[in-house]
Every structure is written in structure tokens, then in C-alpha cells.
Amino acid sequence: MNRMFTSDKVKSNSIFTCPSCFQDLLKIKENDLNLQLACNQCSALFDIVDNIPRLVDTDNYTNSFGYQWNIHRKTQLDSYSGLSISKNRIDKITNLEFRDWKNDKILEAGSGAGRFSEILVKSGASVYSFDFSSACEANALNNSSADNLFIFQGDIFRIPFNNDSFDHVFCLGVIQHTPNPEAAFIALAEKVKIGGSLYIDVYTKSFLSLVHWKYILRPITKRIDQVKLYNLVCKVVPFLIPFSRLSRKLFGRLGARIIPIVEYTHLGLDKKMNRDWAILDTFDMYSPAHDHPQSLRTVQKWFINSGFTDIEVFYGDNGVVGRGKKPFKEPE
């Protein structure tokens, strides 16, 4: 059974603020079967479906992500692959600090199927994880055994919590897929507590990245029906994997860009898992409505403009990584 938000977890006035007017939400019982969250201030109503609060319009620009993650629900989980790919990425992004967060609160924006949720809950912190798409359902199915994980469907631009609420805020591989990455960053930064930390990574903007096949073909592929595009990817990717592997072997990371797919044999995945990852991430390249890579300098400017200190911005496994702390305010 999914225990993410059973009735005893959806308390009347302590979990969410209304994403419409940012007042408290209250739980109401609509009938014997369904629960909703209601705002006392503006009377907005939000359904709780399969124990997951749905605080957004479920038909939105991230539908392709919901589609892919519910098909590939387990593909990128460390517990499924038997590898530490997701854990290693978090280790690098946090500089191993996340292991000491037992009494903290974490906000995870853009959870997908929960590959990082699975790792973050092991810190012992209370993890509030959301996705704009129906991928939240895949996360719930994958990680429902974690009593310290709270999943909801929400909007990164209207995060339903008071500002300064979380010790740590994560957003990995997501900001570039929003209509306005800088505004998304600001919305995340507002939720970090004084003294807390913000961790992001975002695709790299460079001449080399912009001449990648992805940005050449995306004007066409993002307009293709997602089911038809996925079926096309499933046919093309297995055929091209051997060529991509050879190209990487001969020319390194640059060689991997010559073929218009991605594959991950170099990560130690077996043949089947590599095929599944390749199909998933190739679809992920070509299907999203938005893909706005950012430069290292731009990400650094975001942190500076939001008043963070201890800022570190560097190139990581998935592009540009940024981390920083929200400073304590000087007494007036």
C-alpha cells in the first residue's frame, strides 16, 4: 500500500500552503471515498488521488516526463541496477554532507521516478518530494516503504510551503526543462532556511553542447506525439548502440556526441540495462517541451544574486553543478 499521504499524514493545517494564495490548506472529506485539500482563504480545492495530493493541473507541459517515468519506473534506481550511480551523483553534489541530516527537512523538486528520493531518505531526514508530472506516481510505487518520504504533485514556480522552510533543497536535472530556469531557481532558493543549503545541476550551455544532435533535432521531435516518438526511439536506439559505443571508444566523450543517441556501457550497466537507459534518456533528450541549458557563469550569478554564500559551481556528471548556503541575517 502507498503510505505517502495517508489520512493521518495529511494534517489539517501544517503541511502545505495554498499554491494559489499561499495561505494554509485544510483537509476536508468530500465523501466516503475521496479526500481533498481546501484553502480557507481562496476556497481552492485540490484532489488527493492514490494518497498523493495533486496541487497542479495534471495536464501540463511535462506530460512526456510522466509518460517516460511510468514506463521506466525502475530503470535508473540504484536498488534495481545494483550500482551506485545515483548515490555517487549525490555524493559529489553534496560533498558527502547528506549523510548527517537525520533531523533535517529536505525538499526535492522534480523527483521523476524517485532515483534520488531513494538515496535521500537514507539520510534519515524528512523528504518532501514533488514532480510537476505524473512521475510522482512512479516515485510513490518505488519508495512507498519509506516513512520519512512525502510525495505530492506540484509546480516548481508555486511550491506550496512557506519560505525558509527547508534545511536542504535539491533540484537535479530539472531546471533546464522549465519555461524560465532563473525563475525556477529563485522559487527554490526562497524555500531554503537561513543556514540551509541549495543543490542544483543543469545541462551545460556551450558551443559544443549546442551543436549536439539533440538541439538540431528537437525543433521537430518535441512536436511529435509522445507515444509515436517513444516507439521510434525504441526501434532506432538498439540499432545505434554498437556505433555509439565504438565512437566513444575511439574518440572519448566527443565521440559519444557523433551518434544521435545516448548509451551508458561505460557506467558498468549490463546489456539489457544499458538498452533501457539508452531508450529512456534518448527519449528524454528529444521529447521535452523545454530544454534551456545554462553556463557555469550564469548559475554562479543566480546564487550570488539570491544572496547565497559558500558558493561552489563546477562541472559534474550531468552538466553544471551549483551549491551554496543561505547566510544568517545580520541583526539590525
What's the rounded Cα separation, in Å, for the pair 239 and 93? Answer: 34
Rounded to two decimals, what is the model's pTM?
0.92
**Architecture of domain 83-204+294-325 in CATH?**
3-Layer(aba) Sandwich (3.40)
Of 7-21, 139-153, 183-197, 242-256, the one with minimum mean pLDDT is: 7-21
**pLDDT tens digits for range 181-239:** 999 999 999 999 999 999 999 999 987 777 789 999 999 999 999 999 999 999 999 99
* Angle formed by the axes of helices 63-71 and 271-286, nearest 10°: 170
Q: What is the pLDDT of residues 133-162, one digit of tens each?
A: 999 999 999 998 899 999 999 999 999 999
DSSP H helical ranges for the chain: 63-71, 78-81, 85-94, 117-120, 135-143, 181-190, 207-210, 213-221, 226-256, 271-286, 296-305
| Neighbouring C-alpha atoms within 13 Å toward the C-beta of 149 | 29
The single residue listed with the C-alpha cell 535508473 is: 76
Tell me what percent of the residues of the chain surpass a pLDDT of 90. 72
What are 121's three cell numbers?
531518505
297: nearest Cα among 287, 288, 307, 305: 305
| Sign of the alpha-carbon torsion through 204, 207, 213, 218 | positive
The domain ranges of the chain are 1-55, 83-204+294-325, 213-286
- Strand 52-53 and strand 45-49: the pairing is antiparallel
Are 180 and 187 a contacting pair, CB within 8 Å? Answer: no
> Three-state SS for 262?
coil
